[in-house]
Amino acid sequence: MEKKNFQIDKENSVRVDVFLSEKLEYTRSRVKKLCDDGCVFVNGKQVKANKVLKDGDIIETTLPEVKNLDLEPENIPLDIVYQDEDLAVINKPQGLTVHAGSGTNGSTLVNALLYHLDNLSGINGVIRPGIVHRIDKNTSGLLVVAKNDVSHLALAKQLEDKTCHRVYLALLEGVVKQDKGRIDTFINRSNKDRTKMAVTDFGRQAITDYKVIKRYKEHTLCEFSLKTGRTHQIRVHAKHIGHPVVGDKEYGYKNQKFKLEGQLLHAYKLEFVHPTTGETVSFTAPLPDYFEKVIKSLK
């Protein structure tokens, strides 16, 4: 464990997560996790991330030791849509886990990135180098990877400020009646299964906009735009409106009509401001072949 202490010597007030994200060069979400895990104290008392600091306050932090998993570069084929000195945009295939975690120690996107790219940001530690945001193992599509810490912080801030636009395509079970709408709920861990998320009466606010692209006899192709970035957000919200994503055995039907390896959910568009040039950049990725095959069968 590493301990780091700070003293506030400014007259203006500032939140714990804002202060520590700058001092520790962490993302605010990572600082929040430290607070939630009881690793941050102000004047000897455990605090939440939104605690407002005052002049003279003493902040004590205990930074958990990151286990070195000895991540090795692996020659896993990658569809690199774009890259420069600051970042890379990857079209992740279905079935590839983004980074190591519980039950996963190798053959991840991170292992592939270590092989294909020269540099990756170190803000998220040795387990998640370069990873600014994630998409589920069995969801395909675009995500941006940071090659240095300056770019990482800038991209993470856009995600927090909701100025990074992520658009998905999904094939849903059943026929969605409304042409478009907004799903605004709280999402938290499911009381029935802690490995899953669920719409609850409390938790973190989750907002998803949707628009019908095409209706079929028993299915609907929809576009989803994330306004927040909660775990499994689109899949949980699709279930919430009574139209789970096709192929999703966790949040949808156990008995699936099509033989699929995962859900028909694809992050097809990603738009953000480049951290160095200041220009708005936009990328798209076509639907995977297995997704297109199902769509054609519905016609």
Burial class (CB in 10 A: 0-12, 13-18, 19+), 242: exposed
Cα separation values, 88 from 83, 126, 148, 214, Å: 4, 18, 11, 32
Q: Which CATH class is domain 67-160?
A: alpha beta
- The domain locations on the chain are 2-63, 67-160, 167-267+292-298
Mapped onto helix, strand or coil, the DSSP state of residue 277 is coil
- Give pLDDT tens digits for 240-259: 999 999 999 999 998 899 99
Same fold, 2-63 and 67-160: no
- Give pLDDT tens digits for 133-158: 889 999 999 999 999 989 998 998 89
Cα separation values, 23 from 37, 159, 160, Å: 19, 20, 18
- The residues that bridge with 88 in the sheet, in sequence order, are 83, 145
Distance CA 235, CA 266 (A): 12
Q: Is 149 a catalytic residue?
A: no
Q: Which CATH class is domain 2-63?
A: alpha beta
Other CB atoms within 10 A of residue 75 CB:
9
The pLDDT of residue 90: 96
Catalytic choice (57, 86, 136, 248): 136
The pLDDT of residue 109: 92
Task: Report mean pLDDT in 10-residue bins for the chain, 299 residues.
Answer: 76 78 76 88 91 88 63 90 96 89 70 90 70 91 94 90 94 97 93 87 91 97 94 96 96 92 96 96 97 94
Distance CA 220, CA 216 (A): 6
Name the nearest CA neighbour of 60 among 103, 3, 106, 115.
3
The pLDDT of residue 291: 98
CATH architecture of 167-267+292-298: 2-Layer Sandwich (3.30)
